[in-house]
Amino acid sequence: MTDQFSVENRVVAITGGSGQLGRRFTSALISRGARVAVLDLEPPGASTAESKSDDMLFVKTDVTRRESLTRALGEISDRWDTPHALINNAALDSPPGSPASENGPFEDFPLESWTRALDVNLTGAFLACQVLGGAMAEAGRGSIVNVSSIYGVVSPDQRIYEYRRADGDTFFKPVAYSASKSGLLNLTRYLATYWAPRGVRVNTLTLGGVFNNQDPRFLEGYCAHVPLGRMADEREYEGPILFLCSDASSYMTGSNLVVDGGWTAW
Ligand SMILES: NC(=O)c1ccc[n+]([C@@H]2O[C@H](COP(=O)([O-])OP(=O)(O)OC[C@H]3O[C@@H](n4cnc5c(N)ncnc54)[C@H](O)[C@@H]3O)[C@@H](O)[C@H]2O)c1
């Protein structure tokens, strides 16, 4: 019997593969037989088991630059094959601990911060789809996963950051992250219909917040908002990635798979 969830011998390119979730996705895919190209500004860190594996290829890549992605595609194709899957995972966020200049009131939110986030989160995915997705369409097969966030589906609830304002910061979860993550939803739909005749499926994976030793006051506010009552353990996102990169999702395109503990359900 064939395993529909198999990613054995698949070539997967993941942008932002050196970050918290990128490393998790990379190791989940490699441990199930995939070959993974990590496209990131930074290497994943020598301590990870995958970094010593022949099944991982790090290609220093800036997703905001088309020529950097073209070079990455060349390296991946020379070493293995045209990717079977592309995970657009690189992003700039402003987590609760980031500097005040990134998290002020909307009226004063710096244009440079807006442009930087849009460049990486949305334009980076657009360019990676053009370059790597274009090659996948040429090859006549593939699956693209655009990683979004609950804040791309609904607005952040600024009340859960009240503790920062009580401390004297003017913290608001910024608009650029939400707007860029929301843009991915329709980049997905557009490309799903555009590339369906050429065998490339395109879906969004919308994720809720991952536990990462955040401030207990943030955790209290965040978790009260989640029907399951907690943040995600990063391992809980391995299943959705394997599903979307494998034939288990072969009839799925143009969709948004929401894995958020129920955050968007009420
Ligand atoms: N961690 C969460 O709680 C959470 C929740 C919802 C959605 N997400 C989404 O999951 C994805 C991964 O999040 P994470 O927490 O692992 O983020 P992270 O900050 O740990 O990793 C992001 C990675 O992107 C890379 N990157 C940044 N700019 C780049 C560029 N120009 N070119 C190439 N790489 C670049 C960084 O070097 C970093 O390795 C993101 O799309 C994020 O929006 C995360």
Q: Is 261 in the pocket of ligand 1 (CB under 6 A)?
A: no
| Euclidean distance between CA atoms 217 and 159, whole angstroms | 12
Read off the pTM. 0.97
Q: Is 42 in the pocket of ligand 1 (CB under 6 A)?
A: yes
Which residue lies with its CA nearest to atom 32 of ligand 1? 62
Class of residue 73 by CB neighbours under 10 A (exposed 0-12, middle 13-18, buried 19+): buried
Q: Of 151, 177, 222, 237, which is the active-site residue?
A: 177
Q: Is 40 in the pocket of ligand 1 (CB under 6 A)?
A: yes
Going from the Cα of 16 to the center of ligand 1, the distance in angstroms, rounded, reads 6
Per-residue pLDDT reduced to its tens digit, 52-102: 689 999 999 999 999 999 999 999 999 999 999 999 999 998 766 677 778
| Among 40, 63, 102, 127, residue to substitute to test ligand 1 (most atoms within 8 Å of Cβ) | 40
Cα(first)–Cα(last) distance of the chain, in Å?
Answer: 40
Closest ligand 1 atom number to CA of residue 88 = 41
Q: What is the pLDDT of residue 166?
A: 86
* % of the chain exceeding 70 in pLDDT: 96
Q: Is 177 a catalytic residue?
A: yes
Per-residue pLDDT reduced to its tens digit, 208-245: 999 999 999 999 999 999 999 999 999 999 999 999 99
Going from the Cα of 128 to the center of ligand 1, the distance in angstroms, rounded, reads 15
What's the CA angle centered on 103, arms 98 and 106, to 5 degrees? 170
Q: Which two tokens stand for residue 154?
A: 């609904």
Going from the Cα of 1 to the center of ligand 1, the distance in angstroms, rounded, reads 36
Going from the Cα of 264 to the center of ligand 1, the distance in angstroms, rounded, reads 21
